[in-house]
């Protein structure tokens, strides 16, 4: 029984990341009708926002102290982190909490990136075939990941969770679980809840949902849907970025992160049903949990290699048996 | 005259809504038969049954000795039913001549043929036939144009050429002049008339433009609320009070 | 797509499109193509890439892209799984080297065959869906193949170490015909003629002839009734069905042919370098062949080969550059400016060449959806217009497919 609980828990944080990326993807599908192969890159960019914030907070000033000498007889260097120099102990806390703090930075940065992407590129592809959309965003994804590679190098950069959240907690007696993963799970739930509430209870959200249900009619009502598209894209970029930033202590980001998550999150969206927000969320968690179950030795014993293919296998079966996915509507992107 | 197409006791409902009830209809060989009726009368449901898109709950559809029920669209075409769509369906990215060639090949070589080695343009039997049909509908000089650039009326002509080259036994026309200018409508009517007389192809026209119906049809069936309410020659239908009732006062769905 | 044939007569009637190329024109173009490929060792000399390893790559990726284009260019089905067929072809070829013979012929046959069989299985399922769903299905299958090749299938694929030919492999056919065992692992041959190692250009000519053959078959398909049905799939499946044609078997047939092309390309890889690794099957490798085809011009005959050549050329050339080399190039500029220029431009070369590739690719998709071929078509029609500007009023531009009325 404990083993089962552990596997479910293990799947939650990964499922949360899948759900967050898929949420944005499906939002973009549903409203803009665009297949965004650069969405994984947005997740990756968010992760590197966290890396940058940590880097900035850790900037040091170097002063020489002539009174103290190193064993080699040169004056000792005193390295002080600027944040500590300026803010004292608050600065120390700030550095420790660089990952959560980076979310504050990620929101405006990702919004800006999202707006630039939509206005500068995506908007010209609303009426082009899906294949063209896939191709141009695939090109964009390559460009973004190469820029990150040029700036941050090819190696993965590890980030640490705040010290107080770095340990493990006992979920039930005897089952230790990394605290940060739990934090990530609740974080993803919060974001998902916020997005759904936003769509459910604001006028803006109402228009967006109407647009997802029937784009043409909403356009005919004289509502400026294009401007809202831009905002939706920005919103999806923020979600992906925050998801990426918070994920850094779990998986050290490298420039390739986006492509890895892209394929998985597309599978999640397809399983959930193109354009369905609850579908994306449910499929994200289900697939995350399935993946962690498949990684159990007891399962692998009977189905060797199942952990490697479970997600794809589920996607194939779903697509064949239930072409619209778990919660998809009829006719979305079927041609 | 014998019946080419017989529809017997066809019923179809969606959920609780009865779209077709007890439809009985027979189309005589060589005739031009129009099916008319107000919106929601079940015209398109009936058409979808004929082309294999919908399977009726009960009843039979026999065409020239073959049951059409459960057949795929391409199988229905292969037994001799060609169809013209409300908005012309053509291969927009291809030239006119290729559009007709594809259709010609389909009727000669069947639903699937893995002929990947011989050149289409050297197959005189196919290309001559295709050109002949394009000439017949008056599009020969445009044969190398990309067909998506044609006017609506010309697209309809092309679609007709694609259907006629197959020498179908039955031609289904779904609002053949929908969305056309008056001039295009009239020239399409003339073309359909001429083709009807020259080739003697049986036609079923689904239409609500009375001008078109009375110019073409030899026999008219009026549908209302999913069931045929009367049938007869155009002049009989014109004066029938039930038809006026269905069109003007009826339609309580 | 018309740009491919837009170089033909510009004197056509003002409102008519272009007549399709006839047999003579096709044969002439094919001859030009064959000569151009076979003379690569000469004309690539001034470009500095006339070495066998590079030219073999062109032939191999050219074959792969020609096959991909048969599927995507004609039917519009965008597969993200072609790397899997390539990988399967490689594994089959290396196993043929290990078990049967170092002769390249059985290796190529098995590579093509297994590529096709694999495509048949994947295509049969994936083609139940269209559009983006089809792309995702092929992607999912390819990723499964890739992940399995690294894990459970290690006995067949040899996992991360890659499958290699070793001295002690059985090679029953070779043993039967008494081929002499050498001290080291033997190299692939063609009935005794070595294809790698000291073989020089022989390996290249071998691959080049295979690609020329692949190109010829693709040309036949383009002009055939079968090819015409494939275009019909892309344009209007609804009309196709109501015209009495069944799109499914057509799409599956071309998917299998396309998989066979990829299997052939994979086995060619194994012939010039007898090992097979799983990284060949990753989905980004599928992405590369997509890039090649689009860049060159999808739906055209020559486009995929041009695209493959262009990308491989950029790869080689851009990787060569580094900061020092750039510094030499820009040394004519004042120091401060030169430094800035060098550090910016160094982002786009060397290890960063993928950045350049991504940018070029985006520009192509945005501004030149017909790829290089469309670009060349525009260029020639522009040149022609310049040269015949005197009577330009009467003759319209070469892309005369605009609506007339």
Determine contact, residues B92/C236, Cβ cutoff 8 Å.
yes
pLDDT of C7 above 60: no
Domain match, C150 and C97 both = yes
pLDDT band at residue A318 under the 50/70/90 scheme: confident
Output the pLDDT for position C404. Answer: 35
Q: Could you tell me which residue, C27 or C22, shows the higher pLDDT?
A: C27
Asked whether residue A73 is assigned to any structural domain, the reply reads no
Mean pLDDT for the stretch of residues A185-197? 93
Say which residue the tokens 């217009």 belong to.
C385
Would strands B219-224 and B227-232 be described as parallel, antiparallel, or unpaired?
Answer: antiparallel
Does residue C3 carry a pLDDT above 70?
no
Find the Cα–Cα–Cα–Cα dihedral C126, C130, C136, C139, rounded to 10°.
50
Query: Whole-angstrom Cα distance, residue A217 to residue C340?
Result: 52
The answer to whether residue A231 is domain-embedded is: yes
Q: Which residues contact C392 (CB under 8 A, 6 or more apart)?
A: C385
Task: Kindly report, residue by residue over A118-155, the tens digit of the pLDDT.
Answer: 999 998 888 888 888 888 998 999 899 889 988 898 88
- C338 and C278 housed in the same domain: no
In a shared domain, residues C357 and C293: no
Asked if the Cβ–Cβ distance from B117 to C224 is below 8 Å, we say yes
Partner residues linked to A76 by β-bridges: A65
Neighbours of chain B (3+ CB pairs under 8 A): C
Residue C157 has what pLDDT? 86
Give the H or E element holding residue A114: helix A98-120
CA–CA dist C188, A61 (Å, integer): 62
Tokens, residue C271: 């012939």
**pLDDT over 70 percentage in chain C:** 88
Quick one: average pLDDT of C191-195?
A: 80
Cβ-contact C107, C115 below 8 angstroms: no
From B165, B163, B182, select the one nearest B173 (Cα to Cα): B163
- pLDDT at position C255 over 80: yes
Q: Are C205 and C120 part of one and the same domain?
A: yes
Of C229, C404, C8, the closest CA to residue B98 belongs to C229
Q: Is C154 left (phi over 0), alpha (psi -120 to 50) or beta?
A: alpha
Q: Kindly state whether residues C74 and C161 are assigned to the same domain.
A: yes
Count how many domains chain A has: 1
The structure tokens listed for B171 are 């031609």
pLDDT at A39: 93
Considering the domain architecture, whether residues C390 and C355 belong to the same structural domain is answered as: yes
Q: What is the pLDDT along chain B (253 residues), one digit of tens a residue?
A: 578 899 889 888 887 788 888 888 889 888 899 998 887 788 888 888 888 788 888 888 999 888 888 888 899 999 999 998 888 899 999 999 999 999 999 989 988 888 889 888 888 899 999 999 999 888 999 989 999 999 888 998 999 999 999 989 999 998 888 878 888 888 888 888 887 777 778 999 988 778 888 888 889 998 888 888 888 888 888 777 877 777 765 444 3
pLDDT, position C240: 93
Residue C403 pLDDT class (50, 70, 90 cuts): very low
Residue A266 φ/ψ, nearest 5 degrees: -65, -40
Give helix C82-99 / helix C104-126 axis angle, nearest 10°. 150
Q: Supply the pTM of this predicted model.
A: 0.87
- List CB contacts (< 8 A) between B166 and chain C: 243-244
B22 vs C283 pLDDT, higher one:
B22
Local confidence band at C197 (pLDDT 50, 70, 90 cut-offs): low
pLDDT value of residue B225: 84
Residue C273 is assigned to a structural domain of this protein:
yes
A330 domain-assigned: no
- Say how many CB pairs under 8 Å bridge B and C: 134
Range with top average pLDDT, A242-246, B26-30, C127-131, C155-159: A242-246
Using only the alpha carbons of chain B, give its radius of gyration. Answer: 19
> In this model, does residue C15 exceed pLDDT 50?
no
Task: Name chain A's partners: 3 or more CB pairs within 8 A.
Answer: C
By DSSP bridging, strand C275-276 and strand B219-224 are unpaired
Dihedral of alpha carbons A167, A170, A176, A182, sign = negative
Q: Count how many residues are written for chain C.
A: 405
- Where residue C132 sits, what CATH number does that domain have? 1.10.3470
With respect to residue A263, please indicate whether it lies within any of the assigned structural domains.
yes
pLDDT tens profile A73-128? 777 777 777 777 777 777 788 888 888 889 999 999 999 999 999 999 998 888 88
What is the pLDDT, as a whole number, of residue B235? Answer: 83
Q: Which of C297, C329, C362 is the last residue of a domain?
A: C297
Residue A279, domain member (yes or no): yes
Q: Which of A183, A195, A206 is nearest to A278 (CA)?
A: A195
Comparing C-alpha atoms, which of C316, C294, C314 is closest to residue C304? Answer: C294
Query: Given an 8 Å threshold on Cβ–Cβ distance, is C143 in contact with A313?
Result: no
Query: Does the distance separating the beta carbons of C1 and B93 come in below 8 Å?
Result: yes
End-to-end CA distance of chain B: 37
Q: What is the pLDDT of residue B250?
A: 47
Contact criterion met (CB below 8 Å) for A325 and A276: yes
Of C115, C219, C162, C124, the residue nearest A320 (C-alpha): C124
Say what the pLDDT of residue A148 is.
92
Say yes or no: C79 and C152 in one domain.
Answer: yes
**For residue A307, how many other CB atoms are within 10 A of its CB?**
21
- A142 and C139 within 8 Å at the Cβ level: the answer is no
Q: How far is CA B200 from CA B63, B100, B212, C355, in A?
A: 17, 20, 19, 65
Closest CA of chain C from B201, distance in Å: 17
Sort out which chain C residues have CB atoms less than 8 A from A308's CB and list them. 144, 147-148, 150-152
> What's the confidence (pLDDT) of residue A329?
65
Residue among A124, A138, A312 whose CB faces C366 most closely: A124
CA atoms within 13 A on the CB side of A195: 30
Q: Is residue C107 part of a domain?
A: yes
Q: Are A114 and A239 in contact (CB under 8 A)?
A: no
Inter-chain contact A35–C132, Cβ cutoff 8 Å?
A: yes
C177: alpha, beta or left, given left = phi > 0 and alpha = psi -120 to 50?
alpha
Task: Give residues 35 to 74 of B whose Cβ lies within 8 Å of C.
Answer: 51, 72-74
Closest residue in C to B119 (Cα–Cα): C224
According to DSSP, the residues that pair with B25 across neighbouring strands are B7
Q: Flag whether pLDDT at C405 surpasses 70.
A: no
Task: Indicate the SS3 state at residue B202.
Answer: strand
- B57: closest CA among B5, B6, B22? B22
Instruction: Kindly state whether residues C190 and C92 are assigned to the same domain.
Output: yes
Of the two residues C230 and B120, the one the predictor is more confident about is C230
The reply to whether A163 falls in a domain is: yes
Q: Does chain B reach chain A with at least 3 CB pairs under 8 Å?
A: no
Q: Which domain holds residue A7?
A: 2-54+103-321
Contact status of B78 with chain C (Cβ, < 8 Å): yes
Q: What CA–CA distances, in Å, run from C11 to A160, C8, C336, C397? A: 70, 9, 55, 9
Q: Which of C19, C235, C405 sits opposite B151 (nearest CB)?
A: C405
C336: containing domain: 321-397
Residues C171 and C229 in one domain: yes
Name the residue in chain C with its Cα closest to that of B90: C239
Nearest CB to C362; choose among A131, A134, A140:
A140
Average pLDDT over residues C260-284: 90
What are φ and ψ of residue A147, in 5° steps? -65, -45
In a domain, A335, yes or no: no
The overall longest dimension of chain B from CA atoms, in Å, is 62
Structure tokens at B236: 């009989």
Pairwise CA distance, residues C226 & B112, whole Å: 9
Domain count across chain C: 2
* % of chain C beyond a pLDDT of 90: 45
Bridge partner list, B231: B221
What are the two backbone dihedrals, phi and then psi, of residue C263, each rounded to the nearest 5 degrees? Answer: -60, -40
Do C365 and A139 form a contact (C-beta atoms < 8 A)? Answer: yes
Report the pLDDT value the prediction gives residue B1, as an integer from 0 to 100.
54
pLDDT at C20: 67
The Cα–Cα gap between B59 and C252 comes to: 35
* Residue C176 counted as domain residue: yes
Contact C223 B119 (CB under 8 A): yes
Choose the closest CB to C16 out of B92, B117, B144.
B144
d(CA C56, CA C34): 15
Give me the CATH number covering residue A309.
Answer: 1.10.3470
- Please give the DSSP secondary-structure letter assigned to residue A169: E
Which among C235, C245, C253 has CB closest to B114? Answer: C253
Confidence of residue A65 (pLDDT cuts 50, 70, 90): confident
Contacts of C369 in chain A (CB under 8 A): 132
Q: Are C337 and C293 found together in one domain?
A: no
Decide if domain B1-80+169-253 falls under CATH 3.40.50.300: yes
Per residue, the 3-state secondary structure of chain C, as one string, reads CHHHCCCCCCCCCCCCCCCCCCHHHHHHHHHHHHHHHHCHHHHCCCCCCCCHHHHHHHHHHHHHHHHHHHHHHHHCCCCCCHHHHHHHHHHHHHHHHHHCCCEHHHHHHHHHHHHHHHHHHHHHHHCCCCHHHHHHHHHHHHHHHHHHHHCCCHHHHCHHHCEECCCCCCCHHHHHCCCCCCCCCCCCEECCEECCHHHCCHHHHHHHHHHHHHHHHHHHHHHCHHHHHHHHHHHCHHHHHHCCCCHHHHHHHHHHHHHHHHHHHHHHHHHHCCEECHHHHCHHHHHHHHHHHHHHCCCCCCHHHHHHHHHHHHHHHHHHCCHHHHHHHHHHCCHHHHHHHHHHHHHHCHHHHHHHHHHHHHHHHHHCCCHHHHHHHHHHHHHHHHHCHHHCCCCCCCCCCCCCC
pLDDT band at A222; cut points 50, 70, 90: low
Contact B149 C402 (CB under 8 A): yes
Task: Output the CA–CA distances (angstroms, integers) from residue B7 to B27, B62, B68, B201, B203, in the order listed.
Answer: 9, 7, 10, 19, 15
Q: Are residues C70 and C128 in the same domain?
A: yes
Separation of alpha carbons C283 and C262, rounded Å: 14
Q: Which 8-state DSSP code applies to residue B95?
A: B
Highest mean pLDDT out of A270-279, C250-259, C350-359? C250-259
pLDDT in tens, C77-116: 999 899 999 999 999 999 999 998 888 999 999 999 999 9
């Amino acid at each position: 029984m404990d083993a089962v609980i552990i596997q479910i828990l293990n799947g939650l944080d990964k499922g949360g990341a899948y759900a967050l990326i898929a949420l944005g993807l499906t939002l973009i599908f549903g409203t803009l009708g665009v297949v965004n192969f650069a969405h994984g890159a947005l997740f990756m960019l968010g992760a590197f926002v966290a890396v940058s914030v940590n880097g900035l907070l850790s900037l040091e000033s170097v002063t020489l102290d002539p009174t103290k000498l190193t064993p080699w007889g040169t004056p000792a260097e005193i390295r002080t982190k600027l944040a500590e120099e300026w803010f004292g102990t608050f600065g120390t806390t700030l550095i420790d909490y660089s990952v959560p703090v980076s979310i504050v930075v990620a929101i405006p940065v990702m919004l800006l990136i999202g707006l630039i992407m939509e206005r500068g590129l995506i908007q010209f592809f609303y009426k082009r075939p899906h294949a063209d959309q896939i191709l141009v965003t695939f090109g964009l994804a390559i460009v973004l990941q190469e820029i990150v590679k040029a700036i941050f190098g090819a190696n993965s950069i590890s980030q640490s969770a705040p010290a107080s959240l770095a340990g493990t907690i006992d979920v039930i007696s005897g089952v230790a679980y990394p605290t940060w993963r739990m934090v990530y799970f609740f974080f993803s739930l919060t974001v998902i809840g916020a997005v759904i509430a936003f769509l459910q209870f604001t006028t803006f959200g109402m228009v967006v949902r109407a647009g997802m249900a029937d784009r043409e009619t909403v356009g005919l009502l004289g509502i400026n849907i294009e401007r809202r598209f831009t905002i939706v894209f920005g919103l999806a970029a923020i979600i992906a970025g925050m998801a990426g930033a918070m994920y850094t202590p779990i998986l050290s980001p490298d420039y390739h992160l986006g492509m890895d998550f892209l394929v998985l999150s597309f599978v999640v969206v397809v399983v959930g049903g193109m354009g369905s927000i609850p579908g994306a969320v449910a499929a994200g968690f289900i697939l995350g949990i399935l993946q962690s179950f498949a990684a159990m030795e007891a399962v692998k014993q009977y189905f060797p290699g199942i952990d490697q293919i479970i997600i794809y296998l589920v996607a194939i079966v779903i697509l064949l048996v239930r072409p619209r996915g778990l919660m998809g509507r009829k006719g979305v992107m079927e041609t | 005259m014998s019946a080419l197409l017989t529809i017997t006791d066809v019923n179809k409902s969606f959920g609780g809504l009865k779209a077709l009830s007890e439809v009985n209809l027979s189309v005589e060989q060589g005739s031009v038969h129009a099916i008319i009726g107000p919106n929601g009368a079940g015209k398109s449901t009936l058409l979808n049954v004929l082309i294999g898109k919908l399977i009726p709950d009960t009843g039979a559809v026999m065409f020239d000795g073959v049951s059409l029920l459960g057949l795929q669209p391409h199988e229905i075409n292969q037994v001799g039913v060609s169809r013209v769509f409300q908005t012309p369906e053509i291969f927009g990215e291809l030239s006119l001549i290729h559009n007709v060639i594809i259709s010609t090949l389909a009727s000669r070589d069947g639903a699937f043929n893995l002929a990947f080695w011989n050149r289409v343009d050297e197959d005189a039997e196919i290309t001559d036939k295709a050109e002949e049909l394009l000439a017949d509908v008056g599009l020969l000089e445009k044969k190398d144009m990309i067909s998506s650039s044609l006017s609506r009326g010309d697209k309809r002509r092309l679609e007709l050429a694609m259907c006629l080259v197959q020498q179908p036994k039955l031609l289904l026309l779904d609002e053949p002049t929908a969305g056309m200018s008056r001039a295009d409508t009239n020239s399409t009517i003339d073309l359909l008339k001429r083709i009807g007389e020259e080739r003697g192809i049986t036609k079923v026209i689904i239409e609500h433009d009375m001008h078109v119906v009375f110019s073409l049809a030899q026999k008219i069936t009026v549908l209302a609320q999913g069931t045929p309410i009367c049938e007869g020659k155009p002049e009989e239908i014109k004066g029938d009070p039930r038809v006026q009732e269905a069109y003007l006062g009826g339609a309580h769905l | 797509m018309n740009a491919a044939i837009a170089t033909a007569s510009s004197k056509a009637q003002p409102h008519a499109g272009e007549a399709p190329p006839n047999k003579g024109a096709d044969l002439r173009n094919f001859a030009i193509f064959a000569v151009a490929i076979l003379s690569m060792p000469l004309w690539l000399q001034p470009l500095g890439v006339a070495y066998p390893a590079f030219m073999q790559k062109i032939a191999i990726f050219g074959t792969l892209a020609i096959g991909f284009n048969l599927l995507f260019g004609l039917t519009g089905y965008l597969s993200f799984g072609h790397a899997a067929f390539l990988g399967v072809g490689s594994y089959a070829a290396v196993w043929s080297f290990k078990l049967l013979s170092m002769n390249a012929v059985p290796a190529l046959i098995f590579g093509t065959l297994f590529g096709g069989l694999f495509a048949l299985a994947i295509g049969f399922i994936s083609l139940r869906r269209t559009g983006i769903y089809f792309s995702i299905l092929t992607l999912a299958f390819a990723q499964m193949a890739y992940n399995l090749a690294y894990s459970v299938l290690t006995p067949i694929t040899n996992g991360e170490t890659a499958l290699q030919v070793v001295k002690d492999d059985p090679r029953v056919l070779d043993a039967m015909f008494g081929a002499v065992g050498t001290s080291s692992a033997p190299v692939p041959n063609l009935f005794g003629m070595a294809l790698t190692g000291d073989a020089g250009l022989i390996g290249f000519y071998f691959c080049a002839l295979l690609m020329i053959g692949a190109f010829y078959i693709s040309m036949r398909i383009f002009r055939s009734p079968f090819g015409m049905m494939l275009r019909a799939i892309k344009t209007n499946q609804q009309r196709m069905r109501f015209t009495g044609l069944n799109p499914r078997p057509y799409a599956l047939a071309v998917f299998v042919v396309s998989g066979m092309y990829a299997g052939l390309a994979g086995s060619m890889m194994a012939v010039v370098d007898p090992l097979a690794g799983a990284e060949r099957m990753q989905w980004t490798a599928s992405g590369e062949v997509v890039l090649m085809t689009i860049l060159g011009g999808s739906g055209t005959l020559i486009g995929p080969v041009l695209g493959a050549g262009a990308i491989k050329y950029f790869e080689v050339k851009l990787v060569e550059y580094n900061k020092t080399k750039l510094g030499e190039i820009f040394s004519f500029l004042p120091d401060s400016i030169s430094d800035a220029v060098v550090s910016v431009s160094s982002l786009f070369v060397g290890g960063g060449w993928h950045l350049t590739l991504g940018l070029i690719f985006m520009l192509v998709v945005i501004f030149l959806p017909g790829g290089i071929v469309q670009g060349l078509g525009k260029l020639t029609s522009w040149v022609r217009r310049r040269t015949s500007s005197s009577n330009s009023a009467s003759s319209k531009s070469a892309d005369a497919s605009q609506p007339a009325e």
